[in-house]
Structure 1
Amino acid sequence: MTTNATRPGSWGLRQRVRVSGGVVAADVFGEGPPVLLVHGTPAWSFLWRGVVPLLARTHAVHVWDLLGFGDSRLRPGVRPSIAAQARALAELVAHWGLEAPTLVGHDIGGGIVARAHLTEGVRARRLALLDAAVLGPWNTPFTEHMQRHADVYRTMPTEVFQELIAGRLRTATRNPMADETADAYLAPWAGTAGQGRWIDQVSSVSFEDTRHAAARLEQIAVPTLVLWGAQDEWLGTATADRLAASIPGACEARVEGAGHFVAEDDPQATADALLEFLAAPVA
């Protein structure tokens, strides 16, 4: 992967994989032991653009856009729930022929990884949960308000809606986003169609989809890293402490000066923490 691919306007995934829930945009970078990155909401694979080149020096890094996010599209009638995303993850692992990859999940991606491993039977060599929505309640007040008033937000004038989510997105990082970076995060949600996709995913996200996995966290038997932005304003570090305490032998780390989008605030420190974790011996 070239350095240019980390720039906002040049990021994109080249593969299209059909799964039961729709068509997934995906890609693989580098060679070596497999690592599978799962973003959360309201991001897309763009979140990983600074981390991927660093991991890909020594690993085969598998990246995808969740169904209904980025360049992935849902099959008509399918809701972009965590359960549906976990099934898609299991199908991608089978498509790529991965026996036991390291699964890395951010935000609801953490819930997706946990559900895929504990409920869908996806084998993993290691798990890394970054600012992860696993233990409930994890919806922010902003998301809960949107869920309660979905029809209002869905019919809101598009330009007003865009301003609203643009402001919300900027609270995901500790450091101010450059305009072109913020625009890249917002691009999948642009226009009336993007507004509809945003409301669809907000309305479909529920702790019910992670409740079963959360109740079985003590069954995780692979090395697990709980990595958190020290200044996460969406899911505070107390959640990280609870999550790490729920998983046998889990190690916990912070990225100082980073908010909820830890890989956006500090991709180098995020990659360094992941690489250190990946290099540690497996008992």
Structure 2
Amino acid sequence: MRGEFVDVGGARLYYYAAGTRGAGEPLVLLHGFPTSSHLWSKLVPLLPAGHRVVVVDLLGYGRSDRPGDRPLGVRAHAERIVELLDVLGINYACVVGHDIGGGVAQVMAVRWPQRVSRLCLVSSVAYDCWPARELRLIRAMLPLTRHLPPTWLLGFLRKEMLSGYTDRELGTHSIERYVKPFGTAEGRDALVAHLLALDPAETAALAPRLKDLVMPCAIVAGAHDPFIALPVAERLKQDIPEATLDVLPDSRHFLPEESPEAVSDVISKLLARE
């Protein structure tokens, strides 16, 4: 798969295209904090044929540009993704979001419903129920710790992320890939910017409008997710009309990596809904 960089608002976003073009609408896959497009690498080959698949590194993650002073909240990410769709000539797509990528997908569905043909929320943030307690603690400590060596912050992040995996060997390998861009002083500054942008007020503001969503929606949650408690997914199912909920037993947070077949099956069923 060949990736490309696209200028969006003066910053380069990295994406790669996969799948096979056909009659089906495109799929856009959005990762969460603090991962990258690598999150979807096991899932992409399992997606049904006939769909163009666009896998994006959000600004400040993976191969995309450093954020600089650009905003990094879920609404700002959503605006950039809509602009990316414009550049790629995609009028509407099935948007699949994990973690804060799910928050980005919710913003897109609420603000630009004509651009979101279907919505899939995987271990998604929502309401005011995030970030996890440990991330809230480190955000509160940033005035004291933001100038410490990157190794201090990354050590905390590695430990926190690993609790989201059932397979610790897989988790350790992926985490090293995810934190690599944050291993320099410049990368530490980008990570601090991401942490400061984890604002639940943005998704809480969407709550009254979720009932107005009319596109087919599927929600996937891990039964033992330590970051996003299961009642959050259950509330999303209640609030979004006609939404389905699949709870994966013995699963935690990083479902696209650890349960790609199950997530692919949910997406395939979503694409088949009328």
Measured against the shorter chain, the TM-score band is over 0.9
Percent of pairs identical after alignment?
A: 27
Structure 2's unaligned 5+ residue stretches are: none
Where do 1:146-185 residues align within 5 Å? 146-178=138-170, 179-185=172-178
Q: Does the 8 A contact of 2:19 with 2:53 survive in 1?
A: yes
Q: Does the 8 A contact of 1:125 with 1:223 survive in 2?
A: yes
Deviation per CA, 1:255-277: give whole Å up to 9, x if none.
22221111122112211221122
Is 1:63 aligned with 2:55? Answer: yes
Q: Give the superposition deviation at 1:194.
A: 2.0
Q: Does the 8 A contact of 1:21 with 1:78 survive in 2?
A: no
Poorly superposed stretches of 4+, deviation over 4 Å: none
Would you say how many aligned residue pairs link Structure 1 and Structure 2? 270
Pairwise CA RMSD: 1.8
Is 1:209 aligned with 2:202? Answer: yes
Alignment partner of 1:47: what SS? helix
Partner of 2:65: 73
**Structure 1-normalised TM-score?**
0.89
**Structure 2-normalised TM-score?**
0.92
Structure 1's unaligned 5+ residue stretches are: 2-12
Q: Give the superposition deviation at 1:151.
A: 2.5
Alignment partner of 1:131: what SS? strand
Partner of 2:7: 18
Alignment partner of 2:226: what SS? coil
Inter-partner Cα distance in structure 1 for 2:184 and 2:27: 34
Q: Give the superposition deviation at 1:122.
A: 5.0
Alignment partner of 1:244: what SS? helix
Partner of 1:189: 182
Supply the AA of the counterpart residue of 2:7: R
Supply the AA of the counterpart residue of 1:123: R
Supply the AA of the counterpart residue of 1:59: H
Inter-partner Cα distance in structure 1 for 2:126 and 2:114: 17
Alignment partner of 2:91: what SS? coil
Inter-partner Cα distance in structure 2 for 1:229 and 1:21: 37
From the superposition, tell whether residues 75 and 167 of structure 1 become closer, same or farther in structure 2 (CA, over 3 Å). closer
The more displaced of 54-63 and 193-202 is 54-63
Alignment partner of 1:196: what SS? helix
Partner of 1:231: 224
Supply the AA of the counterpart residue of 1:258: S
